[in-house]
């Protein structure tokens, strides 16, 4: 399906198209579900890999998520978008994978946590004099993915859905079955923690680089 209108109209059209395929699936059309798989498999894999930090685990999560969605399609009551329902299944499967294989306990976040009155954009300190050399997009993406694993699962998932996958705060709240206020609180905590982690990471990296450059200068001076 192609869409040349606004992002909102495209989203509405996609949701309607999803429901058309869902109705066909419920009527026994297996090919319709295959179309849904093709539409969402890449996005689900990306979410699962960010959460589990493992390609193998992510592949298993996506397979299980689609299988569970297919088996429980009759219970999908269409009160939300199909994509929201599918994302929720994927997130739950990803968190289950963490608990089972890494013995990690999901950290609950207080729903009544007071979020700041103004939650600004994710800002990171200026770490380096040479960003074009040190922090190319690919490198920064890998570093961010690594540092994400230091976040508690509840904060990590919120950050992934909202800031990486680009869901709105309302959509993220619907996927995670939280209030908008709780999502904002988690997102603020996740951004703050990531800023601290990344600042520390780049601070250590810059210190090591300076030491290495100093050693190289010493060697050159001795030659």
**What pLDDT, on the 0 to 100 scale, is given for residue 206?**
52
**What pLDDT, on the 0 to 100 scale, is given for residue 207?**
57
**What pLDDT, on the 0 to 100 scale, is given for residue 121?**
43
* Assigned CATH class of 7-102: mainly alpha
**What pLDDT, on the 0 to 100 scale, is given for residue 204?**
58
Residues of the chain with pLDDT under 50: 9, 12, 104-135, 216-223
CATH placement of domain 131-222: 1.10.10.10
**What pLDDT, on the 0 to 100 scale, is given for residue 77?**
86
**What pLDDT, on the 0 to 100 scale, is given for residue 14?**
60
Q: Which residues are CB-contacts of 151 (< 8 A; sequence separation ≥ 6)?
A: 159, 190, 193, 194
Chain region(s) in the chain for CATH 1.10.1740.10: 7-102
**What pLDDT, on the 0 to 100 scale, is given for residue 180?**
94
pTM over 0.85: no
Chain region(s) in the chain for CATH 1.10.10.10: 131-222
The tally of CA atoms less than 13 A away on the side-chain side of residue 107 is 13
Question: CA-based angle 156:161:166, to the nearest 5?
Answer: 135
């Amino acid at each position: 399906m192609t869409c040349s209108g606004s992002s909102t109209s495209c989203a509405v059209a996609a949701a309607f198209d999803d429901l058309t395929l869902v109705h066909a699936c419920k009527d026994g059309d297996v090919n319709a579900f295959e179309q849904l798989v093709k539409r969402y498999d890449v996005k689900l894999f990306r979410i699962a890999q960010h959460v589990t930090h493992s390609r193998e685990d992510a592949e298993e999560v996506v397979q299980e998520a689609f299988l569970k969605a297919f088996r429980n399609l009759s219970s999908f009551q269409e009160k939300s978008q199909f994509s929201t329902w599918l994302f929720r299944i994927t997130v739950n499967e990803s968190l289950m994978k963490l608990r089972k294989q890494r013995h990690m306990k999901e950290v609950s976040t207080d729903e009544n946590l007071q979020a700041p009155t103004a939650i600004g954009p994710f800002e990171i300190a200026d770490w380096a004099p040479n960003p074009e050399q040190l922090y190319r997009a690919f490198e920064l993406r890998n570093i961010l993915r690594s540092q994400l694993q230091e976040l508690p699962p509840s904060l990590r998932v919120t950050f992934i859905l909202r800031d990486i996958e680009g869901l709105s705060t309302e959509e993220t709240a619907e996927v995670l079955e939280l209030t908008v206020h709780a999502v904002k609180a988690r997102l603020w905590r996740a951004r703050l923690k990531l800023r601290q982690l990344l600042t520390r990471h780049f601070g250590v990296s810059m210190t090591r680089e300076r030491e290495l450059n100093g050693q190289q200068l010493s060697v050159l001076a001795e030659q």
